[in-house]
Structure 1
Amino acid sequence: MKNLLTILGFLLCLSTQAQEINWMSINEALAAQKKEPKKIFMDVYTDWCGPCKLLDKRTFHNKDVVNYVNKHYYAVKFNAEGTEEVNYNNFTYTNPNHNPNRKGRNSQHFFANALKISGYPSMVFFDENGNLIAPVVGFKTPQQLELYLKMIHNNDYKKLTTAEAWKKYEKSFVGTFSN
């Protein structure tokens, strides 16, 4: 009986552990695409951004978001004010103006600038060949993000060439992600 309780306790502990998105760097994701083509979902954040932290806590730990992203995308975490060296489209992007002693806002990484990131958080989608599809700016709940995750994964975005088509798609979309 004692062994059964120990096993049940262990299984309960495993089932309540937080699920995590399998984050990687953009360089790792681009390399992985060469072996197994898959779209890239990139979270562009900064250390000082409150909505970025909320997105991390509330949306990126939602089990439906975690499962969907891990299954259908290479997930990238990218600090838009960090110092990571990014090799993208035969160019090396850096952040030469980064000041490690600065508190709060810092200089924007040249890669974030090249992607035309205008606010944080931003989620950026790339196709299976590493080509930019689109950035989505701002905090999104799991249910709001679901629309973009599925639209991009299913290539529906290619058919949405007008504002009217987008509104119709958005209105007819039926999500399944939980709170």
Structure 2
Amino acid sequence: MKIKLFFILLLTGMGISVFAQNEGQEGIVFMENQPWSEVLQKAKEQNRLIFMDCYTVWCGPCKGLAKDIFPQKKVGDFFNANFVNAKYDMEKGDGKMLREKYKEYIIGFPTLLLIDQNGNVVHQMAGYHKADELIAGMKAGLEGKTLAAMQKKYESGARDFETIRDYVAALNGAFKKDEIRNILTDYLKIIPVEKLQDRDMWTLVGRYVVDPYSEAYRYVFDHIEKFQYRLDVDRYRLESQLEGGMSNAVKEIIEVTNRTTNPDTLKMMADRETRLREMLEKNTVKRFPTLLCKLTINDYRLKGDALGMYNMLNFADQLNILNYESAFRSATYRYIVCHVRDKKILNDCLKTLIALQDQESLAKSKLITQNYYDVIALTYEKLGQKVKAAEAKEKFEQLEKEKKAEMAKFFNLGEKDEK
């Protein structure tokens, strides 16, 4: 009797345990690494699309989806009701065949595909997505707003807000960032700039307003307070965005004028500089004084006025305008040292260069330091101090070797971490 009771309790407990396990499986129910033919057959029987998770065992984001996203009830409710769900390790079994079959869509892991009953990809996403993002992305695919459909619509000439928004959402889900940048940059050229003050429009295109020669950039610059207060745009981030675009434009002018003497090219750069200066001189964005100072020093260089460069550099140092511009300062000092004969100026440059190098030497990593020893050696040579020039050259070469060694160590560590 006791033995019977024991088995009854055991079986009852097992039943409760199994029931509890089934109750706990609220997430996506997958056909995992099962024959692809069976998945296709099930899709045909149920007249559904296939949701396929393409993963590998070493992929961190894949594990994140499997652990944190796929088990969620709201995710399971949506995917189990709408798709035949399958997942494959892309490095074994049918997964290897599917990786080859869909290689044009699998740009990395995880890749998430919607596939029709004939095995054709109709929608794709890539990377780790939060639950709501994943549901919204695949719901768009289910509703016909697939990446392929939106691309076709865009290529046919559709440029309304909804088309651009949905196309960008599909591209974002597929992790095609370069395409998004190109599409929204082009879109910015055709919309009235006043539309940028519309909240939905700004949310879509705002981060791509970075070209200081564009009408959109100028409009945002002129109305920065309105974007700050009316749209609650973060002023710090917006200024950083405008500064980043302006910095790239200034860098281009300096680099181009350093490597060419073509009069047409120089005139084009001068015209561009005039357009930039109009905004830079208003000083409404952080670091604009730094960029204006760099352009002014570059103008002196184009005139061959090394003394003007020297005086401007001293002025900038007094105001700490050129902090974090080590490479530019090094190039400027090199030009000055090469083109002045006044020993007082050379000695002043030497004193400053040594102080700058001492400051750089305090950095914990050599990867982020500027090596001024080559310019220091050049200055010693101009002053006729050959022994010290040779010592500085030796220090320059030694520091470069140390930087290369640290760089190699850094990348080797990175490779080990990946493994």
- TM-score, scaled relative to structure 2: 0.30
2:127 is the counterpart of 1:138: yes
Q: Which amino acid aligns with 1:28?
A: E
Cα deviation, residue 36, structure 1: 2.5
Size of the aligned set, in residue pairs, is 142
SS at match of 1:136: strand
Deviation at 1:111, TM superposition (A): 3.2
Corresponding residue of 1:152: 141
Task: Give CA deviations for 1:4-50 in whole Å, capped at 9, x if unaligned.
Answer: xxxxxx6x957962324221133322011232210010000000001
| Corresponding residue to 1:27 among 37, 41, 45 | 37
Aligned ranges 1:87-126 → 2 under 5 Å: 93=97, 109-113=99-103, 115-126=104-115
Aligned AA (1:22): V
Aligned to 1:177: none
Residues 37 and 129 in structure 1, CA contact (< 8 A), matched pair in contact too? no
Aligned residue number for residue 3 of structure 1: none
Question: Is structure 2 residue 156 aligned with structure 1 residue 167?
Answer: no
Q: Which consecutive unaligned segments of at least 5 residues does structure 2 have?
A: 1-15, 170-199, 201-419
Pick the structure with more strand per residue: 1
Deviation sequence 1:120-168 (CA, Å, 0-9, x none): 1110111243321132110011011011221112223376333851415
Change (3 A) 1:16 1:166: farther
TM-fit CA distance, 1:112: 4.7
Corresponding residue number in structure 2 for 1:37: 47
Task: Confirm or deny: 8 A CA contact 1:125 1:152 kept in the other structure.
Answer: yes
How many Å separate the matches in 1 of 2:61 and 2:95? 25
33 and 15 in structure 1: CA distance in 2 versus 1, 3 angstrom threshold: closer
1:48 maps to which residue? 58
Matches of 1:67 and 1:166 in 2, distance apart?
A: 29
User: Hey, what's the Cα distance between the residues in 1 that align with 2:95 and 2:128?
Assistant: 26
Moved over 4 A (4+): 12-16, 168-171
**Structure 1 partner of 2:229:** none
Match of 1:17 among 24, 30, 35: 24
Q: State the match for 2:75 in structure 1.
A: 65
| CA 122–60 in structure 1, closer or farther in 2 if over 3 Å, else same | same
Are the equivalent residues in 2 in contact too, given 1:80–1:112 (CA < 8 A)? no
> CA–CA distance in 2 between the matches of 1:132 and 1:43?
13
Q: Given the two structures, how large is their TM-score scaled by the length of structure 1?
A: 0.66
Structure 1: segments with no counterpart, 5+ residues: 1-9, 87-92, 95-108, 172-179
For residues 114 and 131 of structure 2, what CA distance do their matches in structure 1 show?
16
Match of 1:104 in 2: none
Once the two structures are overlaid, the 10-residue window that deviates more, 74-83 or 29-38, is 29-38
Greater length-normalized contact order (CA 8 Å, ≥ 6 residues apart): 1
Across the aligned residues of Structure 1 and Structure 2, the Cα RMSD in angstroms comes to 3.1
2: CA distance between counterparts of 1:149 and 1:138?
A: 13
Q: What do the CA deviations read for 1:50-93 (whole angstroms, capped 9, x no partner)?
A: 1100011111011111111111000010111112278xxxxxx3
- What secondary structure, in the 3-state scheme, does the structure 2 residue paired with 1:74 have? strand
Alpha-carbon distance in structure 2 between the residues aligned to 1:144 and 1:57: 16
Native 8 Å contact 1:39 1:125 kept in 2 = yes
Rg larger in 1 or in 2?
2
